[in-house]
Amino acid sequence: QPIFAALLASGHDFRLAVAMDHCTPLSLRTHSSEPVAVAIYDSRPGRSGSGLPYDEQSAAKAGELLADGRQFFNRVLGR
Protein backbone atom coordinates (compact mmCIF):
# COMPACT_ATOMS: atom_id res chain seq x y z
CA GLN A 1 0.00 0.00 0.00
CA PRO A 2 2.68 2.65 0.82
CA ILE A 3 4.49 2.06 -2.50
CA PHE A 4 1.27 2.24 -4.53
CA ALA A 5 0.13 5.38 -2.68
CA ALA A 6 3.50 7.07 -3.25
CA LEU A 7 3.40 6.24 -6.96
CA LEU A 8 -0.12 7.66 -7.24
CA ALA A 9 0.91 10.80 -5.34
CA SER A 10 3.88 11.35 -7.67
CA GLY A 11 1.60 12.50 -10.48
CA HIS A 12 3.60 10.50 -13.03
CA ASP A 13 2.37 7.63 -15.20
CA PHE A 14 3.62 4.29 -13.93
CA ARG A 15 3.22 0.53 -14.15
CA LEU A 16 3.38 -1.67 -11.09
CA ALA A 17 3.95 -5.42 -11.41
CA VAL A 18 3.14 -8.00 -8.75
CA ALA A 19 4.33 -11.56 -9.30
CA MET A 20 4.92 -14.78 -7.40
CA ASP A 21 8.35 -16.38 -7.50
CA HIS A 22 6.92 -19.86 -8.15
CA CYS A 23 3.71 -21.90 -8.15
CA THR A 24 2.96 -24.21 -5.27
CA PRO A 25 -0.17 -26.17 -6.22
CA LEU A 26 -2.05 -27.57 -3.25
CA SER A 27 -2.34 -30.90 -5.05
CA LEU A 28 1.48 -31.19 -5.18
CA ARG A 29 2.27 -29.40 -1.90
CA THR A 30 5.62 -28.38 -3.39
CA HIS A 31 6.97 -25.97 -5.99
CA SER A 32 6.23 -26.62 -9.65
CA SER A 33 7.53 -25.27 -12.94
CA GLU A 34 4.10 -23.98 -14.01
CA PRO A 35 3.87 -20.32 -15.08
CA VAL A 36 3.13 -17.86 -12.27
CA ALA A 37 0.36 -15.29 -12.07
CA VAL A 38 1.39 -11.70 -12.78
CA ALA A 39 -0.67 -8.57 -12.17
CA ILE A 40 0.44 -5.42 -13.99
CA TYR A 41 -1.24 -2.13 -13.06
CA ASP A 42 -1.03 0.73 -15.58
CA SER A 43 -1.90 4.18 -14.22
CA ARG A 44 -2.51 5.74 -17.62
CA PRO A 45 -6.13 6.65 -18.41
CA GLY A 46 -8.08 4.18 -20.53
CA ARG A 47 -6.15 1.13 -19.34
CA SER A 48 -8.26 -1.63 -17.88
CA GLY A 49 -7.39 -5.08 -16.66
CA SER A 50 -9.02 -8.45 -17.05
CA GLY A 51 -11.03 -8.07 -13.83
CA LEU A 52 -9.94 -11.56 -12.82
CA PRO A 53 -8.69 -12.41 -9.31
CA TYR A 54 -4.94 -12.75 -8.76
CA ASP A 55 -4.33 -16.51 -8.65
CA GLU A 56 -2.97 -19.31 -10.81
CA GLN A 57 -6.36 -20.49 -12.08
CA SER A 58 -7.39 -16.98 -13.17
CA ALA A 59 -4.02 -16.41 -14.81
CA ALA A 60 -4.54 -19.56 -16.87
CA LYS A 61 -8.03 -18.33 -17.87
CA ALA A 62 -6.61 -14.98 -19.00
CA GLY A 63 -5.01 -16.87 -21.87
CA GLU A 64 -1.86 -14.78 -22.07
CA LEU A 65 1.54 -16.32 -21.45
CA LEU A 66 4.73 -14.31 -21.10
CA ALA A 67 7.19 -17.05 -21.97
CA ASP A 68 10.31 -15.51 -20.47
CA GLY A 69 11.77 -12.62 -18.51
CA ARG A 70 12.35 -10.54 -21.62
CA GLN A 71 8.65 -10.64 -22.54
CA PHE A 72 7.72 -9.80 -18.96
CA PHE A 73 9.98 -6.75 -18.78
CA ASN A 74 8.94 -5.59 -22.25
CA ARG A 75 5.31 -5.66 -21.05
CA VAL A 76 6.12 -3.80 -17.84
CA LEU A 77 8.16 -1.20 -19.75
CA GLY A 78 5.45 -0.87 -22.41
CA ARG A 79 7.52 -2.06 -25.34
Report pLDDT for 7: 96
Q: Domains of the chain: which residue ranges?
A: 2-77
Q: How far apart are CA 25 and CA 50, in angstroms?
A: 23
Q: What is the pLDDT of residues 30-68, one digit of tens each?
A: 988 887 888 888 998 887 777 888 877 887 788 788 888
Q: pTM above the 0.95 mark?
A: no
CA distance readout (Å), 18 to 26, 29, 39: 21, 22, 5
**Cβ-contact 36, 17 below 8 angstroms:** no
Average pLDDT, the chain: 85
Report pLDDT for 3: 94
